[in-house]
Copies of this chain bind each other. A is one copy, B any other.
């Protein structure tokens, strides 16, 4: 079997597309954000990526049919603005070299599609509950850092101290080697729960930059549900202690 297989459903012609990555990670912030964009902006799936670096697993849909775990690419055409490509999926690569292989593969596809700018989305795990999450940033050059500061992204010396691991980091690193301008947006999150609030914070920045309008009602509803859940957990005193290994700055 080949290490990575891509199956195209369609080969879209895109206008200077911007690539957005949102894969599972801390607080599932990136994944939530990317899936929210796909659903609410009605992005169109055009490719499926399968890999022996993903878990050997199929998911079972509610109707009993199955799906081999994968990553997927969606596109969104915008009039008067750059087109968008979104990378979403069930898993990141399981091993370090699997992570490199898949991110390198994505960068090559991005080049073919004419991508010159990448945004990777993730969570920044704090290990404590957070009311108003900031969005931290990292970028491949100083101009992008300034541009992001202007839309409210925080750049804080020494944060994240251990860098950015996983796809959100590698797409920046490997994209930079190809001369692409890349930004990682990290929503602050406790890291204990799936975090719709952090996802919304990240998407608000992205909506401004990409000039798209996003309805956040659904994310706000999810956030309220999580808030209720955590309140109950606190009352019942079964609130989990932070575990350090759960809180890496994984995108």
Contact = CB atoms under 8 A, between A and B. Distances in A.
Contact of A66 (B54, B98, B140): B140
Given A57-B164, A165-B57, A174 B68 contact: yes
Contact of A56 (B64, B100, B160): B100
B57 A169 contact: yes
A65 B138 CA distance: 6
Contacts of A66: 138-140, 163-164, 169, 172-173, 176, 184
A65 B104 contact: no
Interface residues on A, range: 35 or more
Interface of A: 1, 3, 5, 7, 50, 52-60, 62-69, 93-94, 96-101, 103-105, 137-142, 145, 148, 155, 157-160, 162-167, 169-170, 172-174, 176-177, 184
Given A1-B100, A56-B93, 10 more contacts: A5-B177, A52-B97, A52-B101, A57-B162, A58-B138, A58-B164, A60-B163, A60-B164, A63-B157, A65-B140
